[in-house]
Amino acid sequence: TGKPKGVVLSHRNMVCGAESVSQYLQNRDSDRLLAVLPFSFDYGFSQLTTAFRVGASVGLMEYLLPRDIISALDRYEVTGLAAVPPLWIQLAGFDWPRKVVDRLRYITNSGGAMPTATLAKLRQKLPSTSVFLMYGLTEAFRSTYLDPAQVDVRPTSIGKAIPNAEILVVRPNGELCEPGEPGELVHRGALVSLGYWNDPEKTAVRFRPAPAAVSQIPLTELAVWSGDTVMRDEEGYLYFIGRHDEMIKTSGYRVSPTEIEEVVYATGLVAEAVAVGSPHPVLGKAIVVIGVPAHDAGGPTDALLTACRAALPSYMVPAHIQWLEALPRNANGKIDRPALAASVETLFAGSANE
């Protein structure tokens, strides 16, 4: 999602991460995983470490077209598949062979929020497959997962802490947030990494002492302060609101791109979409939605704006909609948000009367 940073992971981090993930995924030696994400991406590399931890096998695949993955699931007799939201959006549109559907024990999502419309399609195509919605940051390997039994109950939740981790929601002053109160996600435990490679300044920003409210040991315990805003409900389930540096401040409000994107995807008018902020002389930042139209939609700007006006408060309605044939991606397969934001940087230059 930005300029790459080298995160130093210890042997302890890797082993504890593999043990934690294989525990909640209930991996066993009979599992067959398909690795379609790059190994430079910690989520992709964890397919290897998780499998090694339990003696499972991994099929390696550098796919050209998403449809090829469906064929590989059959060829390798895959029981577990991990992917990121842009890939799930594409895979949800294909027909899945009966043999694949019957054999696939679980799928996992990380690297961004799974749109609820995409999740609904996958649940329909894979009725007996467990869906694990997860949240993670490379600085701490993985942080949360949602129990598959809760997916239909709270599909927008990122769940609770994975084994061997504690997840806190913290105010700017270091105090713990109350249920329903947004705050910064702070991760403490065995998975906290050793910092950024050759970058003590950035390390000091993200790796700081655990909040005083929970740290009662005499030596300083470092935690990862994620920079992500989340909220915990009364039952302890966490909900991702947005990255602090991706929040759009418009008309005096802080707006989460995820909230807008959920509404946009729910219309069925787009195949892929992101919401970004573009500098505006009056609003501060104007909301711009950049999307790829659904196959039968043909760039339906008016219909999409009408749907947004019906579902969103006025300050969250996009000021502009831009259509592309495809959205750019980074090396990890995620949508390249910084590139898209940069592409609309001067969209409203000189438009003080808009």
Angle between helices 42-54 and 11-25 (to 10 degrees): 70
Please report how the helices 257-266 and 301-311 are oriented relative to each other, as an axis angle in degrees rounded to 10. 120
- Of all residues in the chain, the percent with pLDDT exceeding 90 is 69
Supply the pLDDT for residue 299: 77
**Which tokens belong to 146?**
């949602």
Rounded Cα gap, residues 239 and 182, in angstroms: 9
Radius of gyration from C-alpha coordinates of the chain: 21
pLDDT top residue among 108 and 42: 108
Instruction: Please give the mean pLDDT across all residues of the chain.
Output: 90
pLDDT interval class at 353 (50, 70, 90): very low
Pair type for strands 284-293 and 320-323: parallel
pLDDT surpassing 60 at residue 354:
no
Between 250 and 237, the more confident residue is: 237
- Strand, helix or coil at 113? coil
pLDDT in tens, 254-280: 788 988 999 999 999 999 999 999 998
Tens digits of residue pLDDT in 320-334:
999 999 999 888 788
The first and second tokens of residue 205, run together, are 């920003």
Residue 256 pLDDT: 85
- For the whole model, what pTM was predicted? 0.79
Q: What local confidence, expressed as pLDDT, does residue 303 receive?
A: 92
Contacts of 192 (CB under 8 A, 6+ apart): 13, 139, 140, 207, 222, 223, 224
Alpha carbons 200 and 169: distance in angstroms, whole number? 25
Contacts of 144 (CB under 8 A, 6+ apart): 134, 135, 136, 158, 159, 160, 161, 162, 167, 238
How far apart are alpha carbons 156 and 106 in whole angstroms? 18
3-state secondary structure of 80: strand
Among 245, 329, 327, 323, CA closest to 285: 245
Identify the sign of the CA torsion 267, 269, 275, 279: negative
What pLDDT does 218 receive?
66
